């Protein structure tokens, strides 16, 4: 379509304001929460009060007797519709309502359906369940050897080849044991000048999307229509169709805007339950969680990471052993993917000859853990970048210098054997060092206010192999609609995808209509996760646009235009059909190349379609009297290729960093024998406007993803990576104490100061 | 399902009568504590007697040299009152540090005092300043008012109408706030009064309490140096998800030190940590 002279290109790379901004600020944007259907019933979940036990009885009679209650349903009742109502992306281990056993406090055991949500809630309080309590296990390391077994038999879903060997396994809590072996790590330790070994712990936290999870299912002819706040409409459709034994086309999944997702709304969550209930009562059923119920639904993995390094006296890391234990909670969700996909990056963005990684996904009797912005990377970086500083300090090396000596550079092999390309690890490190003014003298504070600074760098591989499909429809007046199943959950994917299409078609971004996920209309997309959309869907949209453009060009030639001559599409349609009529449909489908890791060694020559690089620098202040910490400056830098939309990139960087900032300084799900003790925002602190650092900088490092659409790649998580260790490193810099457990609370800093003082007193 | 009556009497007498005849009725002031507790089914009342219709109950004035704050005076009124700022600026600063703007716009001093939340701020000021609580029946010295966890000497149906604060020579409040709720993890109110220095601590135990060891030391010399080496023995201190009792014990000392510092140098910010 050669009408660039009519409508200039330059759509990509422009800070186009979000297309949906006006709708959102004027309160007109549609959310599933606001959706009401005629005849709709409200569901309220009754939850387990014990961490592990066999269900002996569930008495629903009092609840059923409440006026306005339509029906009370238990797990066994669901079997009338679906004999084996177990779902999950990696394992078919999670029942829509507990069957036989409960595996964590807060697990759904029964559900009340009522005309009114308050009646449903009131009635749910009247349900009484009795259990035979079983021994429970809560800690991920204990789960390795515990006699308390969360699942009697492992039930991998069959989708992932590396889980097949687990089929039917008994008496284990290990849902995946991933390993990588490169070189000879034992020899490296034996011949090393220095060996360092440390253990780090990350805590369980919650995504806290401000729109809590919500799903609504309605019978629809001989099919089912599901409205849901989901990040993965295509997966929901496939999984519901599997459960019901239906073809995909009888299940229709619609997703409007999301009020945040962060990984909480991935794969399948409430959808299986509302789908079965709707078929059971033949009415629409809506389940809206409260903020507090989300704590029991999906969380971020707690993690223990033991890291050991062989280091030469010059400060080169020659060998590294990583043992990572992921606390997956009671259901696997996507935990085994976290274990593998993040696991292979556990040694960090460093050039290390000899590497050994063991990464374990573990079942415990805690609420399930899944994907959360970073997909396991922040837990790993927390360990390896704290470890980096501890080594550097011990060797008397500057932390930046130590990293310079060890980072993976262009063309060098990563631990998997994949050669590094388009990965500006150095660029990110140098940008942070420059913005921190690292080589200049630093004000260390006075009196009981001490100042310090710290940095961290990290990388992440994109999840692979995954597919995206896009459909572009050009109408007879020349305007374009884009049908994709990418979910705009606040990250502005609508805008970015419209920019790509506009660039290809020579239209204005603002004139493109992006059709929201509706599986009857929008084609397959693996999911909106792992910062994959820009790259994968971006390519699919580009291909669909090019496909449409080719057809227009061909149409022009067939109508007598000289090849390459300028035309306006609307003239082509008019000429062809004699009036404003017809369509051109362009289709694009994209899946990158990938080599899956060899089972025993974990090696692969093509482990990821692209690398995301992120780094953080902070300046902090500690009040040694109370341990109170203030972050004065937060610098984020990332390699995201060429930015499609610099302004949106900036908000992704600051947003990601601040989210991890909360996980670093305050957020912590606290448990007492499996019982969450701070499951409300009155106790569980998330960052607010008053908490954010006075200075935040976001830097897009000079880079280009040669394989990306318009040189771009993902950016939604990159600024989460380094925040925790950068702050811990800064604390050490300020007051000389090293914290190895998150979060970094004033009391933990204070206690470490006390311990250091009494240690010094003894010496 | 949980029925209750909502009443809005025009006078304290009328409110007293309802409360006297209905033992399960409860007065409501700002509702910032009563309503959440009711919603969460922590408490249930036959009637809620809204004091919002009683005229004059929110007055703030000087009377015989003392500062009198009506029970219905909202936190925002106290923090912005020129009368309060002139007489006891520390009290205005304390009010400024309560919760968030929404809470300050509705919550009241009477409600806060009657509620006797172990982590509330006002009780520290009442005890620290040696205030007197005026009710529909009598006057109660702050020293006699706070008796336990959410417990006061108020009798059923007794309504606070005002709090009377003697004006100190100097006073300051230092607060270490909970990051999520913003209540006091530890709050220390230090006042130099005609009878000597008073030190009241909130957030750290089941209810607000005085610290005689600090009072004695500071009465000799109101200075940070006077605190050096003073290590009061506390009874049972709170240990919760945010702070252990050992940490609290330490933070009490630090907040008292900061409050003393702020007494000596009123321009230094004392409110927050
Ligand atoms: C999010 C949040 C944060 C908060 N943060 C803080 C904080 O940082 N510091 C702090 O100190 N407080 C804090 N509070 C509490 C707040 O100050 C409340 O306003 C206060 O505790 C109660 O005042 P109220 O006027 O709302 O009382 P209500 O809720 O109306 O009543 C509370 C109790 O007092 C009784 N009562 C009310 N008035 C009278 C009266 N005149 N006579 C006798 N009994 C009466 C009621 O029956 C009830 O039992 C916070 C509250 C919230 C919701």
Quickly state the pLDDT bin for B44 (edges 50, 70, 90).
confident
Q: Do A380 and A448 share a domain, yes or no?
A: yes
**Do A584 and A702 sit in the same domain of this protein?**
no
> Which of A163-177, A476-490, B122-136 is predicted least confidently?
A163-177
The residue out of A234, A256, A290 marking a domain boundary is A290
- Residue A162 clears pLDDT 90, i.e. is over it: no
Note whether B27 and B103 are same-domain residues.
Answer: no
Q: Same domain, yes or no, for B43 and B133?
A: no
Question: Is A717 one of the catalytic residues?
Answer: yes
**B100 CA from centroid of ligand 1 (Å):** 13
H or E element in which residue A650 lies: helix A646-665
Q: Is the pLDDT of residue A22 over 50?
A: yes
Q: Which residue has the CA at smallest separation from atom 33 of ligand 1?
A: B115
Point out the residue among B178, B181, B273 whose CB comes nearest to the CB of A626.
B273
Residue B270 pLDDT: 46
* Candidates A673, A717, A741, A747; catalytic one: A717
Among B51, B68, B85, where does a domain finish?
A: B51
> Which pLDDT band holds residue A4 (cuts at 50, 70, 90)?
very low
What is the pLDDT, as a whole number, of residue A9? 62
Residues with Cβ within 8 Å of residue A408, at least 6 apart in sequence: A349, A350, A351, A414, A420, A423, A425
Q: Looking at the structure, tell me whether residues A281 and A303 fall in a common domain.
A: no
Q: The complex's ipTM?
A: 0.90
Mean pLDDT of A595-614: 94
In this model, does residue A297 exceed pLDDT 60? yes
Same-domain check for residues A632 and A557: no
Q: Which residues of B touch A (CB under 8 A)?
A: 1, 176, 178-181, 241-244, 247, 250-251, 254, 257, 273
- Mean pLDDT for the stretch of residues B231-245: 91
Q: In the listed set A590, A607, A635, which residue is the last one of a domain according to the structure?
A: A590
Query: How sure is the predictor about A163, in pLDDT bands with cuts at 50, 70 and 90?
Result: confident
Shared-domain flag, residues A306 and A454: yes
pLDDT level of residue A3 (50, 70, 90 thresholds): very low
Lowest mean pLDDT among A34-38, A335-339, A503-507: A335-339
Q: Poorest-confidence range of A229-233, A250-254, A600-604, B114-118?
A: A600-604
Sign of the Cα torsion B96, B100, B105, B109 reads negative
In a shared domain, residues A475 and A459: no
Please give the torsion angle defined by the CA atoms of residues A290, A292, A297 and A299, in that order, rounded to the nearest 10 degrees: 130
Mutate to test the interface with A, among B180, B184, B238 (most CBs of A within 10 A): B180
Taking only the tens place, the pLDDT of each residue in A328-339 is: 999 999 998 888
Nearest CA in chain A to B245: A747
- The CATH number that applies at residue A359 is 3.30.365.10
Q: Whose CA is nearest to atom 41 of ligand 1?
A: B160
Could you tell me if residue A77 is inside a domain?
Answer: yes
Please tell me if the CB atom of residue B12 comes closer than 6 angstroms to any atom of ligand 1.
Answer: no
Residues B47 and B62 reside in one and the same domain: no
What percent of chain A has pLDDT above 90? 94
Domain match, B228 and B105 both = yes
In this structure, are strands A354-362 and A128-133 parallel, antiparallel, or unpaired? unpaired
pLDDT tier for residue A763 given thresholds of 50, 70 and 90 = low
Query: Do residues A507 and A534 both lie within one domain?
Result: yes
User: pLDDT at position A351, please?
Assistant: 98
Please give the pLDDT value at position B240. 87
Task: Assess whether the C-beta atom of B118 lies below 6 angstroms from ligand 1.
Answer: no
Nearest Cα of chain B lies from the Cα of A678 at a distance, in angstroms, of 8
For A722-750, the pLDDT digits (tens) are: 999 999 999 999 999 999 999 999 999 99
Give this prediction's pTM.
Answer: 0.95
In ligand 1, the atom with minimum distance to the C-alpha of B122 is 11
The domain in which residue B36 lies consists of: 1-51
Ligand 1 pocket mutation, candidates B34, B40, B162, criterion most atoms within 8 A of CB? B34
Mean pLDDT taken over chain A: 96
**B90 in the same domain as B7:** no
The full DSSP string for chain B is ----EEE--SSHHHHHHHHHH-TTEEEESS-TTHHHHHHTTS---SEEEEGGGSTTTT-EEEETTEEEEETT-BHHHHHH-HHHHHH-HHHHHHHHTSS-HHHHHH-BHHHHHHHT-TT-SHHHHHHHHT-EEEESS-EEEHHHHEEETTEESPPTT--EEEEEEEPPSEEEEEEEE-TTT-SEEEEEEEEEETTEEEEEEESSSSS-EE-HHHHHHHHH--SSGGGTT--PPPSS----SS--HHHHHHHHHHHHHHHHHHHHSTTS--SB-
The residue whose CA is least distant from atom 37 of ligand 1 is: B111
Instruction: Tell me whether residue B160 is in a domain.
Output: yes
Ligand 1 within 6 A of B183 CB? yes
Whether residue A193 lies inside any domain: the answer is no
Set of chain A residues whose Cβ sits within 8 Å of the Cβ of B180: 666, 681-686
Domain termination residue (choose one: B51, B69, B86): B51
- B-contacting residues in A 44-103 (Cβ below 8 Å): none
Contacts B179 to A, Cβ<8 Å: 666, 685, 691
Q: Is residue B270 part of a domain?
A: no
DSSP-derived 3-state class of residue A134: coil
Q: What is the pLDDT of residues B58-78, one digit of tens each?
A: 999 999 999 999 999 999 999
Residues A334, A278 within the same domain: no
Say whether both B17 and B119 belong to one domain. no
Quick one: residue B92, left, alpha or beta (phi over 0 = left, psi -120 to 50 = alpha)?
A: alpha
In angstroms, rounded to a whole number, what is the distance separating the alpha carbons of residues A230 and A213?
8
Task: Say how many domains are in chain B.
Answer: 2
The reply to whether A626 touches chain B by the CB within 8 Å rule is yes
In a domain, A153, yes or no: no
pLDDT digits (tens, 9 = 90+) for A414-464: 999 999 999 999 999 999 999 999 999 999 999 999 999 999 999 999 998
B131 shares a domain with B20: no
For residues A586 and A709, membership in a common domain is answered with no
pLDDT at B271: 44
pLDDT at A136: 98
In a domain, A631, yes or no: yes
pLDDT greater than 90 at residue A158:
no
CB-based contact, A630 to chain B, within 8 Å? no
| Contact status of A666 with chain B (Cβ, < 8 Å) | yes
User: Average pLDDT, stretch B239-256?
Assistant: 94
Supply the pLDDT for residue B168.
98
Closest-CA distance, A546 to chain B, in angstroms, reads: 51
B109 and B234 together in one domain? yes
Tell whether the model's pLDDT for residue B158 goes beyond 50.
Answer: yes
Atom 16 in ligand 1: residue holding the nearest Cα: B107
Cα–Cα distances in angstroms (integers) from residue A478 to residues A505, A560, A566, A582, A583, in the given order: 10, 19, 14, 10, 9
Instruction: Looking at the structure, tell me whether residues B180 and B259 fall in a common domain.
Output: yes
- Domain extent at residue A127: 39-50+52-135+209-290
Domain boundary among A590, A606, A628: A590
pLDDT of residue A561: 97
Q: Are A679 and A738 contained in the same domain? A: yes
Residues A459 and A487 in one domain: no
Tell whether B273 is covered by a domain: no
Output phi, psi for A370, to 5 deg: -145, -135
Contacts A685 to B, Cβ<8 Å: 178-180
CB contact under 8 A, A628 and B250: no
Q: Among B51, B70, B93, where does a domain finish?
A: B51
Q: Are residues B91 and B149 in the same domain?
A: yes
User: Are the beta carbons of B176 and A626 separated by less than 8 Å?
Assistant: yes
Residue at A106 is within a domain: yes
Shortest Cα distance, chain A CAs vs residue B243, angstroms: 7
What integer is the mean pLDDT of A116-138? 97
Please report whether residue A405 resides in a domain.
yes
Q: Are residues B30 and B139 in the same domain?
A: no
CATH code (residue B30): 3.30.43.10
Task: Specify whether A612 is located in the same domain as A569.
Answer: no
Bond prior to A554 in cis (omega within 30° of 0): no
Nearest C-alpha of chain B: how many angstroms from A629? 10
Cβ A751–B247 below 8 Å, yes or no? yes
Q: How many domains does chain A have?
A: 3
Residue B107 CB–ligand 1 contact under 6 Å: yes
Residue A390 covered by a domain: yes
CATH no. for residue B105? Answer: 3.30.465.10
| Cα A239 from Cα A250, distance rounded (Å) | 12
Tell whether B206 and B88 lie within a shared domain: yes
* Ligand 1 binding pocket includes B108 (Cβ within 6 Å): yes
Give yes or no for A756 touching B (CB within 8 A): no
Residue in chain B nearest A125 by alpha carbon: B41
Q: In this complex, do A683 and B181 lie within 8 Å of one another by their Cβ atoms?
A: yes
Instruction: Please check whether residue A675 touches B, CB under 8 A.
Output: no
Question: Quick one: average pLDDT of A397-414?
Answer: 98
* Domain membership flag for residue B155: yes
Choose among B180, B241, B251: nearest Cβ to A626: B251
pLDDT by residue (tens digit) across A255-272?
A: 999 999 999 999 999 999
- Segment A701-729 mean pLDDT: 97
Nearest-Cα distance to chain B for A738, in Å, is 19
Per-residue pLDDT, B1: 53
Rounded distance from Cα B161 to ligand 1 centre (Å) = 15
Q: Using a CB–CB cutoff of 8 Å, tell me whether A621 touches chain B.
A: no
Query: What's A131's domain CATH number?
Result: 3.90.1170.50
Give yes or no for residue B271 CB within 6 A of ligand 1: no
Closest Cα in chain A to B181: A682
Residue nearest to atom 44 of ligand 1 (CA): B114
CA angle A349, A351, A355 (to 5 degrees): 95
A193 falls in which pLDDT band (50, 70, 90)?
very high
Q: Assess if residue A191 is contained within a domain.
A: no
């Amino acid at each position: 379509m050669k009408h660039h002279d009519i409508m200039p290109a330059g759509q990509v790379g422009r800070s186009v304001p979000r297309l949906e901004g006006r709708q959102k600020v004027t309160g007109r944007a549609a959310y599933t929460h606001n959706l009401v259907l005629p005849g709709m019933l409200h569901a309220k979940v009754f939850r387990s009060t014990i961490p592990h036990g066999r269900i002996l009885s569930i008495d629903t009679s009092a609840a059923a007797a409440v006026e306005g209650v339509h029906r009370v349903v238990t797990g066994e009742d669901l079997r009338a519709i679906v004999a084996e109502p177990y779902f999950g992306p990696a394992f078919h281990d999670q029942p829509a309502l507990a069957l036989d056993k409960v595996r964590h406090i807060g697990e759904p055991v029964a559900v009340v359906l009522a005309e009114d949500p308050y009646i449903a809630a009131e009635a749910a309080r009247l349900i009484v369940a009795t259990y035979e309590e079983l021994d429970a296990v809560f800690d991920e390391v204990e789960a390795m050897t515990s006699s308390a077994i969360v699942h009697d038999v492992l039930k991998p879903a069959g989708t992932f080849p590396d889980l097949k060997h687990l089929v039917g396994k008994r008496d284990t809590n290990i849902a995946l044991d991933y390993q990588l072996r490169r070189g000879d790590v034992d020899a490296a330790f034996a011949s090393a000048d220095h060996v360092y070994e440390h253990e780090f712990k990350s805590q369980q936290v919650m995504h806290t999307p401000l729109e809590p999870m919500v799903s609504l299912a309605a019978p629809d002819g001989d099919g089912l229509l599901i409205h849901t706040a989901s990040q993965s409409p295509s997966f929901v459709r496939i999984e519901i169709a599997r459960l019901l034994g239906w073809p995909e086309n009888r299940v229709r999944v619609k997703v409007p805007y999301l009020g945040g997702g962060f990984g909480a709304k991935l794969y399948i969550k409430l959808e299986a339950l509302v789908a079965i209930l709707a078929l059971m009562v033949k009415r629409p059923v809506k389940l809206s969680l409260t903020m507090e119920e989300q704590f029991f639904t999906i969380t971020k993995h707690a993690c223990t990471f033991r890291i050991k390094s062989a280091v030469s006296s010059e400060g080169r890391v020659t060998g590294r052993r990583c043992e990572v234990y992921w606390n997956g909670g009671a259901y696997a969700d996507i935990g085994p993917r976290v274990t593998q996909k993040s696991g292979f990056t556990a040694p960090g963005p460093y050039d290390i000859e000899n590497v050994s990684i063991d990464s374990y996904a573990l079942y415990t009797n805690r609420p399930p853990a899944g994907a959360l912005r970073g997909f396991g990377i922040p837990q790993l970086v927390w360990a390896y970048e704290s470890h980096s500083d501890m080594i550097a300090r011990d060797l008397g090396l500057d932390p930046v210098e130590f990293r310079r000596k060890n980072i993976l550079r262009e063309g060098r092999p990563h631990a998997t054997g994949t050669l590094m390309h388009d990965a500006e690890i150095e660029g990110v490190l140098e940008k942070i060092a420059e913005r921190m003014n690292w080589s200049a003298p630093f004000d260390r504070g006075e009196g009981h206010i001490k100042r310090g600074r710290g940095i961290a760098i990290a990388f992440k591989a994109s999840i692979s192999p995954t597919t995206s499909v896009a459909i572009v429809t050009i109408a007879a007046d020349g305007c374009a609609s884009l049908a994709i199943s990418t979910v705009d959950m606040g990250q502005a994917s609508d805008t970015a995808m419209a920019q790509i299409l506009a660039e290809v078609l020579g239209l204005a971004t603002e004139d493109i209509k992006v059709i929201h996920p509706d599986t009857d209309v929008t084609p397959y997309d693996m999911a909106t996760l792992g910062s994959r959309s820009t790259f994968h869907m971006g390519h699919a949209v580009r291909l669909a646009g090019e496909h449409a453009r080719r057809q227009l060009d061909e149409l022009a030639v067939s109508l007598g235009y000289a090849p390459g001559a300028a035309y306006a599409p609307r003239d082509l349609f008019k000429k062809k059909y004699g009036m404003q009529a017809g369509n051109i449909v362009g289709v694009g489908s994209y899946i990158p190349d990938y080599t899956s890791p060899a089972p025993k060694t974990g090696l692969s020559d093509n482990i990821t379609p692209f690398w995301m690089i992120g780094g953080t620098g902070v300046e902090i202040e500690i009040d040694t009297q109370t341990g109170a910490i203030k972050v004065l400056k937060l610098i984020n830098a990332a390699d995201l290729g060429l930015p499609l939309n610099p302004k949106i990139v900036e908000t992704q960087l600051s947003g990601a960093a601040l989210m991890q900032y909360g996980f670093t300084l305050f957020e912590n799900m606290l448990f007492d024998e499996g019982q969450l003790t701070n499951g409300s925002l009155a106790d569980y602190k998330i960052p607010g406007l008053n908490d954010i650092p006075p200075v935040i900088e976001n830097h897009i490092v000079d880079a280009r993803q040669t394989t990306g659409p318009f040189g771009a790649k993902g950016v939604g998580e990159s600024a989460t990576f380094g925040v925790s260790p950068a702050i811990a490193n800064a604390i050490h810099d300020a007051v000389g104490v090293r914290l190895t457990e998150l979060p970094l609370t004033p009391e933990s800093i204070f206690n470490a100061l006390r311990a250091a003082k009494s240690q010094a007193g003894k010496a | 399902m949980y029925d209750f009556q909502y009443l809005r009497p025009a006078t304290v007498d009328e409110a007293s009568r309802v409360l006297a005849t209905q033992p399960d009725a409860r007065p409501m002031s700002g509702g910032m504590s009563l309503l959440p507790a009711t919603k969460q089914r922590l408490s249930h009342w036959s009637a809620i007697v809204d004091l919002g219709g009683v005229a004059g109950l929110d007055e703030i004035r000087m009377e015989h040299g003392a500062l009198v704050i009506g029970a219905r005076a909202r936190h925002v009124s106290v923090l912005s009152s020129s009368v309060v700022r002139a007489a006891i600026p520390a009290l205005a600063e304390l009010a400024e540090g309560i919760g968030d703007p929404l809470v300050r716009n509705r919550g009241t001093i009477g409600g806060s005092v009657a509620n006797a939340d172990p982590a509330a701020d006002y009780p520290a000021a009442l005890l620290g300043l040696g205030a007197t609580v005026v009710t529909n029946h009598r006057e109660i010295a702050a020293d006699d008012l706070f008796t336990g966890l959410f417990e006061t000497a108020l009798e059923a149906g007794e309504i606070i109408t005002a709090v009377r604060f003697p004006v100190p020579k100097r006073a300051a409040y230092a607060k270490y706030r909970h990051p999520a709720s913003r209540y006091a993890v530890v709050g220390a109110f230090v006042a130099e009064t005609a009878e000597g220095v008073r030190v009241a601590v909130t957030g750290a135990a089941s209810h607000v309490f005085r610290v005689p060891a600090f009072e004695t030391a500071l009465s000799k010399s109101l200075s940070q140096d006077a605190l050096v080496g003073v290590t009061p023995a506390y009874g049972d201190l709170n240990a919760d998800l945010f702070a252990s009792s050992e940490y609290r014990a330490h933070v009490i000392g630090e907040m008292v030190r900061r409050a003393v510092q702020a007494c000596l140098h009123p321009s230094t910010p004392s409110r927050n940590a």
